[in-house]
Structure 1
Amino acid sequence: MEYDSPLAAGDIPSEDQRVRDLLNAGRLADANQLFDEVVARVPPGGGRWSRSAVLVNRAVLAWRLSRIPLALELAAEGWTDLDSEHPDSPAAAQTMSALGYLLEGIGHRRAALDMLRLAVQVARRSGDAETLAQCLQRLGGILNFRAASGPPQAAEQVFRQAAGYLREGLELVADPAFRRAIMAAYSRSLIGIGAYDRAEQLARDTHDQCVAVGDEWGQAVADWVLGILHQHRGDQDQARDVLRRAVELAERVNDISLLFRFSLDLADACAAVGDPVGEAAALRRSVGASLTAVETLQEGLGQALEQRKVAVQAQRLAVAAQEAAARDPLTGLTNRLGLERTAPFLLDSTATKGRIPWLVLLDVDGFKGVNDDAGHAAGDAVLREIAQLLRRECRIDDLVARWAGDEFVVLLGDTGNDYDIGPAVAERIRKSVDQHDWSGLLGPMIRPPTVSVGVAAGPAKLDTLFKAADAALYRAKRLGRNRVEVEPTARS
């Protein structure tokens, strides 16, 4: 992956991070010396994923230090834990993210993108904000480079994807060094979607911060972004000068992937101003960087990729099995387990945005009668039909779940500034079920089902919301069914 950022705190030892800091400051000799001391130590305990994360990230450091055989050895050793049955820890996400970085650097681009997307999924499940931000930054950085080098007609869409990931990461990250890396990447995405003024402000802020602390890696990326911005604005002379500085910094910090990308852009800038000597020199740099990455690494780590392919497939099957365990087989909705796993993240996100969390709890009226009069097969069909109506009436960001039996839960996502959205959605659902044509499913003699609905809003805790909504649901049943009741105390 071209954007190599500081790691989130947690599983990676502080001395390993110090090696990265020295590299990013262009102090290669000091980084090499400290790395010799670091790599001689056995990774600390804390579980096999933690050990794997340390090993793979040491492989990244070895690659940055041009110690290729050691990089391959460390990567192969760290890769062996990818068949873990429970990839839900920050260390697992860090391992996958670092592997994605290595795979991208050696040219295994599809595998790299798959690995980085999987790392983001695992990071989300882990609940660790810094790790998720790291994974989002690496994925967004790769998408930036794919957009820049891919078909022009597809570039803006890919840049928008990258911007979304990076913007989310920027909201999560606290570490200053890591924040600078995301800011630089995000500014490149903004150029890609035409937000030039905002991109320039962010890139210059990043550049100034990096200069102040001696972060030459971040300064190189910021200069590259500013150079691209000058190109878009037609100032090719300025673009050439700034891109030349970015290339020199990329050489100083020994980042082959950055050097390859920056040199290509510098060659374009030199050609635009009629500088054939500069263009040739930039192309020689890009070719040299490409040969280093491809010839030296692709064969060795490519073999490791093939050897681990079965393990990666097993890993994906394990993830799919986890997802299946959280889904109701009858309706296809999230089940109670899935709701309890996912709700805290949705509620935290809603609260962080200053929105009101809403929970809608509904129960099918007279469902026992449907089973008794029409049979359990018809009852199952009614539940499936209600699940479809819920999907239709709710948004993609809402979490729709079958709680148990004939009870369903809807946890609303971002509600914007509409403070009455919960009751409105509940009434829409009630009316949709009440006005649905059930005759084809139940016949004319069976009483069609309706739903009673309880609605609550308040603290971002699932159990608190559920208890309040359950009280409102009980009131709706007691007052005649087929109605919506809102729990007033939950809104305080």
Structure 2
Amino acid sequence: MEQDDPLLAGQIPEQDRHVRLLLDSGLIEQCEAAFDDSVASAPNLVGSEWNRPIVLVHRAILAWRLGRISLALELAADAWTELDADKHRDPETAHALSMLGYLLEGHSAPALELLSRAVRIARDVGDANTLAHCLLREGMTLASRVLVSGISLERYLSEALERLDEVLALETEGSTHRRALAGSGRVLVELAEVDEAQRRATEAIVDAERSGDMFAQSIANWTLAEVHRRRSLLDLGRTMASRALHQAETIRETMLINRISTDLASICQRLGDHVGESAALRRAVRAGNETIHILQEGLGQALEQRRIAIHAQRKANAAEAAALRDPLTGLANRLGLERYAPGLLERSAARGGIPWLLLLDVDWFKDVNDGAGHSMGDAALREVASLLRAECRAEDLICRWAGDEFVVVLAAYSADSRAAGPAVAERIRAAVDGHDWRQVLGEIERRPTVSIGAAAGPARLDELFTAADVALYRAKHGGRNRVEVDDSERREPLPAE
């Protein structure tokens, strides 16, 4: 096999170029293995010396032809994202855009726009090789709308021939030249220029057979089949169409298989070869079914990957939520406080409010544990958590700090919140003090109460916690079951950034 087009040298890994040569030569098993090795050896291309969008689109085309639809779509989407973010007008961008448009097969306006945009960029930068590649892809895509899709639009044929003739005028070599020859020959047949079509197809076959380019061979033989059919040389037409179909099947060009099969069936019908006609139609149906199967399989793979991704995300979210929750009370734990409190404090200060932090300690908790047992102690903590929820707003942050200590961060949304902290703290103290603990703990000598230290602003968690801890110390040593407010509570909140 000859080397691939020089434009790809330096743009994609050598191994990727080798995969494309194997595929175009019909060596599918070797291609499958080489493709897997290539993707595994450089899956992300981060910091590589190659042009990342070009590599991604090139691999997407290979994956599509190998029936790996889900991977092809993923690679194409990644490339499109990068190209959308890249505003440069250079040969590499033109080449990648053109490959992406060709991958979409020209069946939608975005695909044709990508191809046209790529040609415009290539013309602007003045790179002949890039321009030839972009023109070839646009010309072949325009032709496919008529030749493969069966759309009868002469405008597409004229535009396709114009692009392909320009490629030939650029005097390029290799696959670009021979595919332009073969493709333009097939277009010329449809435009009734049969002699010139035969000349180009014959020249393309000689070059394609020497290089092992089975794609160009298939197009050229298909062109000759149509030339012979139009000259009523049906036996020769059947031979060339059969050869073209075999080559298309070998390299897995499904849409090409479908159209050549249909043309072969038409030739066989005119010959009265009903066996050959049936066989050709079966191959067309098989190609169509294979296309549907591949698309269904690709959709199934995409849906399954989506399902797995959602399931994994849910598990990750659940694990993260569990890590931030106290399993006994269901409140946020110390990690949850550190995660959520800074944002709550910043939002309160940004709205001109005065954030408050309340630090609570359950009085006589050791007596509950010693007298009623640890299970009753756990029940008491759960009950305190329930009372805290009842007395606080949904937007407030309630945490179990450690043991029998709790923290409440009040979300302040107005400047009128100067008295909010002491008021909420007193409400919590009274609720715990007045609670009927007999339903939870039975008859005990000393029912639980809470001591609370309260501190307001500045909007930094560590400073608020330290100030509230000092106030709590005073409450505990002042007789318990009381609220103490930090002496520096008159400090102004931090200004919003």
- Report the TM-score when normalising by structure 2: 0.54
* Residue deviations 1:433-473 (CA, integer Å, cap 9, x gap): xxxxxxxxxxxxxxxxxxxxxxxxxxxxxxxxxxxxxxxxx
Distance 1:7 1:271 in 2: 44
TM-aligned CA distance change 1:142 to 1:6, over 3 Å? farther
Distance 1:49 1:85, change over 3 A: farther
Preserved contact between residue 15 and residue 38 of structure 2 (Cα < 8 Å) = yes
Q: Distance in 2 between matches of 1:49 and 1:77?
A: 16
Alignment of 1:184-263 (within 5 A): 184-263=182-261
Q: Which residue of 1 aligns with 2:141?
A: 142
In structure 2, distance between residues paired with 1:92 and 1:251: 32
Question: 1:15 maps to what in 2?
Answer: 15
Assess, with a 3 A threshold, how the Cα gap between structure 1 residues 151 and 95 changes in structure 2: closer, same or farther: closer
1:315 aligned residue: none
Are residues 228 and 111 of structure 1, via their aligned partners in 2, closer, same or farther at CA, if it must alter by over 3 Å?
farther
Work out which of the two has the higher radius of gyration on C-alpha atoms and give 1 or 2. 2
Write the letter of the residue equivalent to 1:24: D
Structure 2 residue 46 is matched with structure 1 residue 35: no
* Alignment match, 1:435: none
The Cα offsets for residues 138-187 of structure 1, whole Å up to 9 and x where unpaired, read as 111122232335565x43x4322111100111222533122111111111
95 and 243 in structure 1: CA distance in 2 versus 1, 3 angstrom threshold:
same
Q: 1:271 aligns with which of 248, 269, 272?
A: 269
Distance 1:35 1:49, change over 3 A: closer
**Deviation (angstroms), 1:20:** 1.0
TM-superposed deviation, 1:206: 0.9
The CA deviation string for residues 203-248 of structure 1, in whole angstroms up to 9 with x for no partner, is: 1111112112222222111101111111222222221121011011
Counterpart in 1 of 2:126?
127
Give the AA of the match of 2:22.
Answer: L
**1:48–1:81 contact (8 Å) kept in structure 2:** no
Mark the CA change 1:174 to 1:214 in structure 2 (over 3 Å): closer, same or farther: same
Matched-pair contact (CA < 8 Å) for 1:141–1:185: yes
TM-aligned CA distance change 1:147 to 1:254, over 3 Å: closer
**Equivalent in the alignment of 2:70:** 69
Q: Deviations over 1:338-385 (max 9, x none)?
A: xxxxxxxxxxxxxxxxxxxxxxxxxxxxxxxxxxxxxxxxxxxxxxxx
Instruction: Tell me, in whole angstroms, the C-alpha distance in 2 between the residues paired with 1:85 and 1:67.
Output: 27
Q: CA deviation at 1:8?
A: 3.2
CA distance in 1, matches of 2:57, 2:186: 27
> Relative to structure 1, is the Cα distance of residues 302 and 29 closer, same or farther in structure 2, using a 3 angstrom cutoff?
closer
Gaps of 5+ in 2: 303-497
The equivalent residue for 1:116 is: 115
Aligned residue in 2 for 1:166: 164
Spell out the pairing of 1:411-426 with structure 2 (5 A cutoff): none
CA distance in 1, matches of 2:54, 2:190: 33
Higher mean displacement: 72-81 or 218-227: 72-81
Give the 3 Å change call, closer, same or farther, for CA 297–100 of structure 1 in structure 2.
farther
Query: 2:258·2:283 contact (CA, 8 Å) conserved in 1?
Result: yes
Q: Separation in 2 of the partners of 1:9 and 1:252?
A: 24
Letter in 1 for 2:169: E
Query: Measured at CA, do residues 36 and 214 of structure 1 come closer, stay the same or move farther in structure 2, by a change above 3 Å?
Result: same
Q: How does 1:311-330 map to 2 (within 5 A)?
A: none
CA contact (8 A) 1:22 1:31 kept: yes
Q: Which moved more, 1:108-117 or 1:191-200?
A: 108-117
| Equivalent-residue separation in structure 1 for 2:61 and 2:71 (angstroms) | 10
Distance 2:298 2:83 in 1: 18
Bigger relative contact order (CA 8 A; separation at least 6): 1
Counterpart in the other structure of 2:94: 93
Aligned pair count reads 296
Aligned AA for 1:144?
Answer: A
- Cα separation, 1, equivalents of 2:84 and 2:297: 23
Distance 1:187 1:15, change over 3 A: same
- Map 1:330-349 → 2, pairs under 5 A: none
CA RMSD across the alignment: 3.0
Q: Distance in 2 between matches of 1:85 and 1:73?
A: 19
Q: Is the 8 A contact 2:132 2:172 kept in 1?
A: no
Q: Output the CA distance in 1 between the equivalents of 2:88 and 2:286.
A: 37
Identity percentage of aligned residues: 42
Could you tell me which residue of structure 1 aligns to residue 311 of structure 2?
A: none
Separation in 2, partners of 1:120, 1:188:
22
Aligned partners of 1:121 and 1:236: how far apart in 2?
43
Offset at 1:249? 0.8
CA distance in 2, matches of 1:136, 1:261: 23
Amino acid corresponding to residue 235 of structure 1 in structure 2: L
Cα distance in 2 for partners of 1:36, 1:173 equals 35
Q: Cα–Cα, structure 1 residues 285 and 48, in superposed 2: closer, same or farther, change >3 Å?
A: farther
Q: Secondary structure at the match of 1:8?
A: helix
Q: Once the 2 structures are TM-superposed, how far is the Cα of residue 301 of structure 1 from its aligned partner?
A: 8.1
In structure 1, how many angstroms separate the alpha carbons of the residues matched to 2:250 and 2:273?
A: 24
